[in-house]
Amino acid sequence: MTLTSAEGQAQTRIALVDLVDRLLGSGVVLAGDLVISLAGVDLVQIRLHALIASVRAEMAEGRPR
Amino acid sequence: MAERARYVYAVSAGLPPDALRGVAGIAGAPVELIGHRDLQALVSDVDLGEYGEAGLRRNLEDLGWLEETARAHDDVVRAATAAAPTAPLRLATIFLDDEGVRRCVEDLYGDLRAALQRVDGRREWSVKVVAKPRAQARASAAAPTGGADYLRRKKAESQARQSADAEALAAAERVSDAVTDGAVAVRRLPAQDPRLSGLEGEMLLNLAALVEQDAGDDLAARVHEIADAEAGVDVVVAGPWPPYSFATLETP
């Protein structure tokens, strides 16, 4: 097994993918004055599109893994 | 001068006024508290061009922008969580003025209170179980001696694969049981794409666990213990985080 753990660090920084998952997928949903049309599925799709597009761009640049 | 709007990070109960001193919000803006009844909305000014509907549509596609906004949001939420029960809001909750924020807190007061009570003194931990990528084509070392030999090998490979899958799933099950035992609440989140998570292999489990503040290390230790005994999976434990996955309102 391989085990990765973030414990031991006083302030554990969240990986961006985990943070964005949470900030767009959960948390309190207040119907703000402007974001209603962005709520829900649309927003998740936007997010995935953005992230995957950016990862693909990195791969296309031939960045070593 | 650009039009301004109010970005709301979170709602807290009993947050001391100086708890966020020195904590910068989005674009370095100072974080202010809008009090309503016994709750405080954590807000800062943002540019309506950037955070209005058209701006958000455009900017959410920009990973650099998304990261900057998400990190600033997280910084504020963390600082607040350390000082008082705090319910984080979703990214980019925008109001045109303070009155709109107060009205919304008033409308959802009961639900906010319930959410705050649920997360009080608790933190979120993440536990992921990923099946290790299989060693590919070990059997191809020597060419098959004939059709029957080929089929025999194929069958053996398929059986080995199935048993590895079953073992990995059983391991995930054991981890899941341990997390459930040690947590106040558990949510199963969608598996992440390996291209995003950076973890190779299929993600079998992506759990968010709400854990009493003083029980997090025990939970992590227990999961480590189980993971040590499993050869076929990688286990990733992270935390403590603000209770992002558990602040959802019952009636959004």
**Cross-chain residue pair A17–B53, CB shorter than 8 Å:** no
Average pLDDT over residues B118-129: 96
Chain A (5-64) residues lying within 8 Å, Cβ to Cβ, of chain B: 5-7, 11-12, 14-35, 37-38, 43, 46-56
Tell me, yes or no, if B227 comes closer than 8 A to chain A by beta carbon.
yes
Residue of A nearest to B111 (CA): A28
Q: Provide the shortest C-alpha distance from residue B249 to chain A (in Å).
A: 6
> Residue B248: which of A40, A35, A8, A58 has the closest Cα?
A40
For B11-20, write each residue's pLDDT tens digit: 999 999 899 9
Average pLDDT, chain B: 90
pLDDT over 70 for what percent of chain B? 96
Residue of B nearest to A37 (CA): B53
Q: Transcribe B10-25 into DSSP letters.
A: EEEES--TTTTTT-B-
Q: Transcribe B134-197 into DSSP letters.
A: PPP-GGGGS--SSHHHHHHHHHHHHHHHHHHHHHHHHHHHHHHHHHHHH-SEEEEPPPPPHHHH
Closest CB to B52 among A5, A34, A50: A34
Predicted structure pTM score: 0.82
Q: Write down the pLDDT at residue A46.
A: 54
Instruction: Give me the interface pTM, i.e. the ipTM.
Output: 0.84
For B1-39, write each residue's pLDDT tens digit: 578 999 999 999 999 989 999 999 999 999 999 999 999
**Cross-chain residue pair A30–B63, CB shorter than 8 Å:** no
**Cross-chain residue pair A26–B67, CB shorter than 8 Å:** no
Low-confidence ranges of chain A (pLDDT < 50): 1-10, 36-42, 63-65
Q: Is the pLDDT of residue B73 over 90?
A: yes
Closest CB to A29 among B100, B224, B249: B249
Interface test with A, best of B91, B127, B210 (most A CBs within 10 A): B91
| Higher per-residue pLDDT: B108 or B57 | B108
**Cross-chain residue pair B238–A15, CB shorter than 8 Å:** yes
Strand partners, B33: B42
CA atoms of A30 and A38, how far apart (whole Å):
12
Interface test with A, best of B8, B60, B186 (most A CBs within 10 A): B60
